[in-house]
Amino acid sequence: MGEVERYPAGSFCWIDLGTTDVEGAKAFYGGLLGWEFEDLPAPEGSYTMCRLRGRDVAGIHRHAEEEGTGWSSNVSVGDLDRATARARELGAEVLAEPFEVPGAGRTAVLRDPAGAVVSLWQAGGHAGAGLVNEVGAWNWNELVAPDLDRAKKFYGELFGWMAEDVPGPIPRTSFSLGELLVGGGHAPGPQEPPTPRWTVSFMVADADQAAAEAERLGGRVLLPPMDIPIGRFAVVADPAGGEFTAAHAPARALRGVDRSSRLARLFTWSHVWSLRHRSRAVRNGLQRCMVRPGCRCDPGETGRGAGHPDKDEFVYLWHDRKPAPLAEARGADIIDQVLRRVAAR
């Protein structure tokens, strides 16, 4: 589960780290996430392919000191030249014109109108990450931008993303491509730097252990582990300053692609502990319990599953015959959708 063969145009397909210390990054991410590495020839030096269980999960390349260290997010496109030209028309700054990556594909780098850097990828021999949403692998992309409305307009017109605002103390949105939830976005919170950026998240088995291990390996914990209704997460920086989220989500809201290269329609469920009332079940049609796979209980109108010792104070999610974006949510964004849908009932 979590293996991917190809990506639809308009969806995130790859992440890579530009760092001032490639060898240090290998030691850090290898120790933290269990990656193995292969240095491949590149036009300028080498490119390090990071692998987990033999499948590509990320890349690492060298940055000059003035470039700093950071993770980049890549969106799959069918026609790189056309997508780059369209991005320019929509107000993006083209930081790197389309160029060939021998044997892999073609890429370009943009700064969107809201100020965040994003890359475009037209696959050749390399479609993107071959493993996602499993422990040690990438599982989410989140835009942080003060001008979220400008970003929503840009990505909607460039990739066809639908932005759905999420109620809360700060402006927040989710991005969907058809039925696929592709990422999220929010305005910087009080404790966040205001710099526009795309952030990445990795799934870990235990957020507290991951934070402690990151510090042992020379990294820094920028936001200590904290609970969210679907799990626990921390924000971490590697020794050279590359920031990312380490997230543990037992519900495992996955983005996977099956063997026939169709997006997997995965059942998912979530506990919403903060609700102090009995909510009606969030249902779209099928009477299927998502508390325990295979259970045939009748959830009833109260949203409680009959016969479950842990049935109280839960909100159950249901899967329609036409899968909802919620069923493919990744990372912490799923809880925003849960709360929004419950509030609408």
Question: Is there a single domain that holds both residue 208 and residue 242?
Answer: yes
pLDDT of residue 292: 38
Residue 3 belongs to a domain: no
Instruction: Mark which of 248, 278, 313 sits at the end of a domain.
Output: 248
As given in the structure block, the two tokens for residue 68 are 């700093």
Give the count of domains, the chain. 2
Residue whose C-alpha is closest to residue 140's, from 25, 217, 252: 252
CA distances from 182 to 139, 161, 331 (A): 10, 8, 11
212 vs 342 pLDDT, higher one = 212
Report residue 92: phi and psi, to 5°: -75, 150
195 and 276 belong to one structural domain: no
Average pLDDT, stretch 327-332? 37
Same domain, 281 and 197: no
334 residue type, one letter: I
Structural domain ending residue among the three candidates 248, 273, 290: 248
Q: Considering the domain boundaries, does residue 127 fall inside one?
A: yes
If pLDDT is split at 50, 70 and 90, which confidence band does 42 have?
confident
Is residue 301 very low, low, confident or very high in pLDDT (cuts 50, 70, 90)? very low
Confidence of residue 252 (pLDDT cuts 50, 70, 90): low
Q: Which CATH number do you get for residue 43?
A: 3.10.180.10
Domain contains 7: no
Q: Which domain holds residue 271?
A: 265-345
Residues 189 and 308 in one domain: no
The torsion angles phi and psi of 87, rounded to 5 degrees, stand at: -60, -40
| 3-class SS letters over the chain | CCECCCCCCCCEEEEEEEECCHHHHHHHHHHHHCCEEEEEECCCCEEEEEEECCEEEEEEEECCHHHCCEEEEEEECCCHHHHHHHHHHCCCEEEEEEEEECCCEEEEEEECCCCCEEEEEEECCCCCCCECCCCCCEEEEEEECCCHHHHHHHHHHHHCCEEEECCCCCCEEEEEECCEEEEEEECCCCCCCCCCEEEEEEECCCHHHHHHHHHHCCCEEEEEEEEECCEEEEEEECCCCCEEEEEECCCCCCCCECCCCCECCCCCCCCCCCCCCCCCCECCCCCCCCCCCCCCCCCCCCCCCCCCCCCCCCCCECCCCCCCHHHHCCCCHHHHHHHHHHHHC
Q: What is the mean pLDDT of residues 57-67?
A: 96
Query: In the structure, what pLDDT confidence band is assigned to residue 1 with cuts at 50, 70 and 90?
Result: low
- What pLDDT sits at residue 315? 30
* Phi, psi for 193 (deg, rounded to 5): -65, 150
Domain shared by 19 and 168, yes or no: yes
Describe the strand order of the beta sheet including 36-41 as a list of residue ranges. Answer: 36-41, 46-52, 55-62, 12-19, 70-76, 117-123, 105-111, 93-101
Q: Identify whether residues 200 and 292 lie together within a single domain.
A: no
**Does residue 1 lie within any of the structural domains?**
no
Of the chain, the end-to-end C-alpha distance in Å amounts to: 33
pLDDT at 249: 81
CA dihedral 87, 90, 95, 96 (to 10 degrees): 20
Of 208-212, 274-278, 298-302, 304-308, the poorest mean pLDDT is in 274-278
Shared domain check, 315 and 198 = no
Domain assignment of residue 2, yes or no = no
Residue 88 has pLDDT above 70, yes or no: yes
| Tokens, residue 1 | 């589960």
User: Which residues are within 8 A (CB) of 277 and not within 5 positions of it... i.e. 6 or more apart?
Assistant: none
Domain boundary among 216, 248, 280: 248
Residue 317 clears pLDDT 60, i.e. is over it: no
- Is a pLDDT exceeding 80 seen at residue 289? no
Taking only Cα atoms into account, the Rg of the chain, rounded to an integer number of angstroms, comes to 20
One domain, residues 148 and 284: no
In a domain, 92, yes or no: yes
Same domain, 226 and 314: no
Mean of pLDDT values over 199-217 = 97
What tens digit of pLDDT does each residue of 160-178 get?
A: 999 999 888 889 999 999 8
Is 219 in the same domain as 287? Answer: no
Same domain, 93 and 189: yes
Q: Categorize the per-residue pLDDT at 84 as very low, low, confident or very high, splitting at 50, 70 and 90.
A: very high
pLDDT score for 73: 98
pLDDT value at residue 286: 33
pLDDT number for residue 90: 98
Q: Which of 15, 27, 14 is nearest to 214 (CA)?
A: 27
Same domain, 132 and 276: no
Domain contains 51: yes
Indicate the pTM of the whole model: 0.75
Asked whether the CA dihedral 247, 205, 24, 26 is positive or negative, the reply is: negative
Residue with the bigger pLDDT between 287 and 134: it is 134
The per-residue pLDDT for 32 is: 98
The answer to the question of residue 260 being in a domain is no
